[in-house]
Structure 1
Amino acid sequence: MCRSRTKVLIVIVMFVLHGCAERNPTEPAAGQTMAQPEVKSTTADGMASEADSANQFKTERITTSLLPNAWRIHPKVISGGLPEGDAAFRELAGLGIKTIISVDGAKPDVSLARAHGLRYVHMPHGYDGISNSRGKELAKAVRDLPGPIYVHCHHGKHRSPTAAAVACIGAGLIATGSGEAFLTHAGTGENYRGLYASAREAIRFENAELDRLAIEFEETVDVSHIAEAMVEIENRFAKLKKLEQLNWDRSAVANLGLDASHEALLLRESYAELIRVLDFANEREGFEDALRSSEIEAKQLEESLTDWEKQSTQLPPDSVRQAFALVAKSCASCHKKYRDVPLSEK
């Protein structure tokens, strides 16, 4: 009898030991939680999200009526174009926006923002990229200012997506290395090499470093005369481009409340004023010649439009289209050679 009991006990012990040997060594015992490995995931749009340094996110196109090219890069941050008019600011408020950051050179419409309970912060930067110091300031802004935050430039395609990416990476809101992908989503032109370099090279700043950074987030800041002039030139050219897209149709131009030849005149005067006040000794070689050529081409467009407006035809002659094509070509050439050159190459 004792021998039988002993045999039974031996069998039971062997069975238990066998079960332990078969168990996955990483499987937790009853009542214990298995340690989870570090996870690095990739969102549907290909942006890596590191669990130890950034929240997982997915870019999202925001459907709006009056906010150009609006994209959400993080739950707290949206990038887009200039809000123009009361209705656009109302739309921002409707999205729950609390703070607007302008990276454009033009002075923000602070009064309209205030009327809708929104705070404006002016942090302009150029098309040539974002300096390390400005990147750190942007990171502190998106970390500390009330959100959601709307970051905008003029068109919302180039500078604001870059600023949003650099800021969110710097504040640890999105993963380092994900900035370029966001620029691609937003439609940033590949020719803006300085902006892509800033997004690609953006780094995360330690919280202690951002805490030590002393900065007053101002509603408006002074920008250089050349920056102001370039904003004016860009605005004038944008209006002329809109008319060109409408084929200069007289009725369409009238409906927009614009005077085509007068817009060309204002463009020419903007070039003339910049040439008059700029100290070319401090500018890159060839910049003065480029501006003077642009002034001449703007004058040719003005004269072509003036001649056509004296006629009764609904659509303009080829001379208008040819003159505008020269103006557009000069703008693109000048931007490529002077404006869009990365900071590292200046």
Structure 2
Amino acid sequence: MKNRRDWMFVGCLLCISVNLLAEEPRQSEPLPKPGELNLCPLGDREGVHHLHQIDPQLFSGAEPEGETGIATLAKLGIRTIVCVDSLPPSQAIAEKYGIKVIHIPLTYAEITEDSKSKFKAVLESQKKPIFVHCHHGKHRGPAAAAIFWQIMRKGSHEDALKILETVGTSKEYQGLWRDVSNFSPDQLKPVSADELVADASEPGFAHSMAIIDRFFLQLDKDRAADWKRTNPEEKLTSAQYALLLKEAFREGHRLLKPDVEYRHLVKESEQLCGELEEALKAKQLQKATQLFYKIEDGCISCHSDYRD
């Protein structure tokens, strides 16, 4: 076993060295055997943070920062970018480097069956290597990449979860861990390549509000039950719903233009949700209730002043 670990370590070093020196796309790196995981952390590069090679044909990381980030990906040989964040990178800039952008936005709560089916369609119709990214490159992106890897290499759930562990995906996002752990290719449906688009953004903040409303209503049920879960089939805790609500406000804030008058109120709600999450984790239920009402009052006030 020691020799095997040594060889794995040497292999990872070689993987990193090749990528550090790469100025041109790699053409002939041997592909792994079915089920084999070749996971190599590559660190931060110019314009691309939290970069990981999951497979010679598959990378994950944070949002590429403008043309600098796209150029870095081009040097690594990337031919397709799959964005699972709310905001996709510029297709026009990517095209300058021979890279195609596919946008399949995810929430922090789950990876839908439709999204998984689109992942398979990407693998069947788009050029490789593929770079999968979210905003920070730690949660949604690696979870999506773990599904990509399972489709590509018919890998095990255990190895797919190692991707999340290595990259640092928070276990607070239980829906992401669940969907990677329970993935089955039998669930996938055919998707036409025409359905893969460069910008699948929903109509701005209105879509974020629908997600916010969903998580808020669940927290309202929990609050009404004195923060005692009444549905035994519900897997997420109240604290985890507070986290998802915080992320929904954060994504909504990112979608709003800087001159929108109520943008600061959305940011305040995000911060209150973070405090609510911590109060629930600490079992400070009275404080949690007070924070919930602050969030609710903020929503009512904002709707009264700004809603069309």
- Which of the five TM-score ranges fits, normalised by the shorter chain? 0.5 to 0.7
Secondary structure class of the residue paired with 1:171: helix
Alignment deviations for residues 86-137 of structure 1 (CA, whole Å, 9 cap, x no partner)? 1111101111100000011124322221222211000111111112232122
Aligned to 2:146: 165
The letter of the residue matching 1:74 is D
Which of the numbers 84, 94, 106 marks the counterpart of 1:103?
Answer: 84
5+ residue gaps, structure 2: 10-32, 213-246, 281-287, 289-308
Give the deviation of 1:169 after TM superposition.
0.9
CA RMSD of aligned residues (A): 3.7
8 Å Cα contact 1:78/1:164 also seen in 2: yes
> Does structure 1 residue 214 correspond to structure 2 residue 192?
yes
Mapped to 1, the partners of 2:133 and 2:144 lie a distance apart of: 9
Match of 2:172 in 1: 191
TM-score by length of 2: 0.58
Q: Residue 127 of structure 2 aligns with which residue? A: 146
1:130 to 94, 111, 124: 111
User: Can you list the C-alpha shifts for 1:178-227, whole angstroms capped at 9, x where unaligned?
Assistant: 22111011100010000000110112359xx77x4334211111325454
The corresponding residue for 2:250 is 234
SS at match of 1:70: strand
Q: Which of 264, 270, 275 is matched with 1:268 structurally?
A: 264
Q: Post-superposition, which runs of at least 4 consecutive aligned residues in structure 1 deviate over 3 A?
A: 41-45, 171-177, 224-233, 235-238, 330-334
Work out the percentage of aligned pairs sharing the same amino acid: 21
Q: In 2, distance between residues paired with 1:151 and 1:140?
A: 14
Q: Distance in 2 between matches of 1:104 and 1:168?
A: 19
What's 1:118 paired with?
A: 99
1:67 aligns with 2:45: no
1:172 Cα offset (Å)? 3.4
Contact kept? 1:69, 1:81, Cα under 8 Å: yes
- For the Cα contact (< 8 Å) 1:179–1:202, is it kept in 2? no
Higher gyration radius (CA): 1
Other-structure match for 1:329: 275
SS for the counterpart of 1:62 is: strand
Q: What is the CA distance between 1:176 and its match in structure 2? A: 4.1
* 1:28 counterpart residue number: none
Q: CA deviation at 1:268?
A: 2.0
**TM-score normalised by length of structure 1:** 0.52
Counterparts of 2:54 and 2:174, CA distance in 1:
21
1:54 pairs with one of 9, 25, 34 = 34
Q: Conserved in 2, the CA contact under 8 Å of 1:161 and 1:182?
A: yes
1:78 aligns with 2:82: no
Return the alpha-carbon distance in structure 2 between the equivalents of residues 162 and 228 of structure 1: 21
Compared CA separation, residues 227 and 59, structure 1 to 2 (3 A): farther
Q: Unpaired segments of 5 or more residues in structure 1?
A: 1-40, 46-52, 239-261, 272-293, 299-323, 338-346
Which one-letter code corresponds to 1:220 in the other structure?
A: D
> Residues 195-344 of structure 1 correspond to what in structure 2 (within 5 A)?
195-205=176-186, 212-216=190-194, 217-223=196-202, 225-228=205-208, 233-234=249-250, 267-270=263-266, 294-295=268-269, 328-330=274-276
- SS of the equivalent of 1:181 reads helix
Alpha-carbon distance change, 233 to 267 in structure 1, aligned in 2, over 3 angstroms? farther
Are the aligned partners of 1:142 and 1:168 in contact in 2 as well (CA < 8 Å)? no
State the alpha-carbon separation in 1 of the partners of residues 168 and 279 from structure 2.
Answer: 20
Q: Is the 8 A contact 1:162 1:195 kept in 2?
A: yes
List per-residue Cα deviations over 1:39-89 (Å, max 9, x = no partner). xx99959xxxxxxx8242321012423212111111111011101121111
Cα 1:133–1:187 change in 2 (3 A) is same
